[in-house]
Amino acid sequence: MPLVPPYIEALRPYVAGMSPEEARRRYNLEHVDKLASNENPLGPSPLAIEAMQRSLAGLNFYPSGGVELRRRLAELYEVKIENVIAGSGSEGIMANIIRTFLLDDDEVLTTENAFIGFRVLAQSRGIAYRTVPYQDWRYDLPALAAAITEKTKIVYLANPNNPTGTIFTRHEFDEFYRHVPERVLIILDEAYFEYAKDHPKYPDSMHYRYDNVITLRTFSKIYGLAGIRIGYGFAHENLIANLLKVKLPFEPSTVAQAAGIAALDDREFLHRSLELNARGLRMMTQAFQEMQLDVVQSQANFVMLPMSTPEQADRIATSLLSQGTIVRPLKAFGLPACLRISTGAMDANERCVEHMRRAVMEEKSCPSPTSSR
Ligand SMILES: Cc1ncc(COP(=O)(O)O)c(C=O)c1O
C-alpha cells in the first residue's frame, strides 16, 4: 500500500505568483504593483487594526471558537447564532464542509475552471469532481441542474465568480433551485458579495434560507483582512451543528475574531473600498476595451481578459511583469489564454493600463505566428 493516496499524489501543489520583491529584483525595477490576488489596496480596515492591537494582551487565553463574532453576525442578519459559523477564512469553512458532508462515493459538481481553492479541497478528499462548461463566461445553471446525479452531494457556486467576475441572477438561481433535490447541498460562495450586492439582479443568498443552502462570506476582500484569515457562513442549524463538530475548536484565532467584529462596524472603510473599486473597474474596463482587448464584464474587484492564445497571454503577462505590474495568469485555473487583473489604488491602475498599452503595442509590432489578433 502506498503511504500517500493516489488522489493526493495527483494533486498539483499551489503555485503562488511572483512576489513584488522578486519582480523588483529580477527586472531591476524601482516600483512594482501587485494586481494579482484580489486584495484590498487600501490596507486593512482601520477599526479592525485597532481591535487586533487591543486583542493581543489576551493571547495567553485560548480563543472562544468564534462565538462573539457569530453572535454579532446573528444580530446583524437577524438569524439565530445556531445558523452562523466563523472560521479561518471562507476556505477554512469550505474545508470543514468537505470533511463533514462527503462520503467516498459522493460527487461534487461545479463549473469548469471554478475557484481553484475549492477544486483543490474537493480533490484532496479523493471524491469525483465533475464540472460543466461556462456559457459566455457565466455559470450555465440549467446545464448544472441537468448534470446532478444520484451521487451528487455538493454543488458549488461562486457568485460573483472567480476568475470570471460574472454573476448569475436571482431569476436564474430560482429556476436552478427548483431542479435541485433537497439531499444536495448548495454552497453559495459570496466572497465578493459586497461588490455585487447593489446590482439589481444579484441574488443575495441571505434571502434563500433553504435547508440545503450554505452561504460563505469573507473579511479577506472588502475589509482588507486576507492575511488574518477570517470568514463566516450561514446555514440551517442542523448543518452548522455538524460543521461545528468537525471545525478545529480554537478556530478562528482571537485576533482574527476581533478583526472581524470590528470590521463589521467600519462603514466608512467599506464605502471607501467600494467606491475605489468601482472607479478602478470602470477605468480599466474602458481602457482595455479601447485597446481592442476582450474584457469580461465584472461585478467583483478584478477583471478577466481572455487573450487570443495561451502564448499571447504569457507574453502579455511577462511584459506587464517586466514593466512593474504583476497580474494573474490563469493557467492553474485551466484557462491558459486568460489573465485576471485585480483593481488597485488609482495610480496603480493607471500604471497597469499604461503597461498594457505598451504590451499590446509590442504584440502589434511583433506578432507571433500563433497570434490571431
Ligand atoms: C470565490 C472565492 N472564494 C473564497 C476565497 C477565499 O477567501 P478566504 O480568504 O476567506 O479564504 C476566494 C479568494 O480569492 C475566492 O475568490
Looking from the CA of residue 160, the nearest atom of ligand 1 is: 1
What pLDDT, on a 0 to 100 scale, did the predictor assign at position 371? 43
Substitution site in 162, 187, 302 for ligand 1 pocket (most atoms within 8 Å of beta carbon): 162
Contact 166/160 with Cβ under 8 angstroms?
yes
CATH number of the domain at 230, please.
3.40.640.10
Residues 66 and 202 in one domain: yes
The Cα–Cα gap between 258 and 58 comes to 11
Looking at the structure, tell me whether residues 254 and 303 fall in a common domain: no
Report in angstroms the alpha-carbon separations of 246 from 28, 94, 96, 256.
48, 12, 6, 19
Same domain (yes/no): 184, 309: no
Domain of residue 294 covers 6-43+268-362
Q: Ligand 1 pocket test: pick from 38, 39, 98, 115 the residue with the most ligand atoms within 8 Å of its Cβ.
A: 115
Q: Which of 331, 369, 368, 339 is nearest to 355 (CA)?
A: 339
Grouped pLDDT means (10 residues each) for the chain, 373 residues: 87 82 96 97 98 98 97 97 98 97 96 93 94 97 98 98 97 96 97 97 88 97 98 97 96 98 98 98 98 98 98 97 97 96 98 98 73 41
Both 39 and 51 in one domain: the answer is: no
Q: Which of 235, 266, 297 is the last residue of a domain?
A: 266
The predicted structure's pLDDT at residue 270: 98
Q: In this predicted structure, what is the pLDDT of residue 2?
A: 80
- Same domain for 174 and 290? no
Task: Give the model's pLDDT for residue 368.
Answer: 55
What is the per-residue pLDDT for 314?
A: 97
pLDDT of residue 222: 98
Nearest to 343 by CA among 283, 294, 297: 283
Same domain? 137 vs 107: yes
- Tell me: do 224 and 317 sit in the same domain: no
Whether residue 226 is found in the same domain as residue 262? yes
Rounded distance between C-alpha atoms, residue 115 and residue 141, angstroms: 16
Q: Is residue 221 part of a domain?
A: yes
Where among 241, 266, 291 does a domain terminate? 266
Same-domain status, 68 and 119? yes
**In terms of Cα–Cα distance, which of 222, 212, 110, 210 is closest to 168?**
110
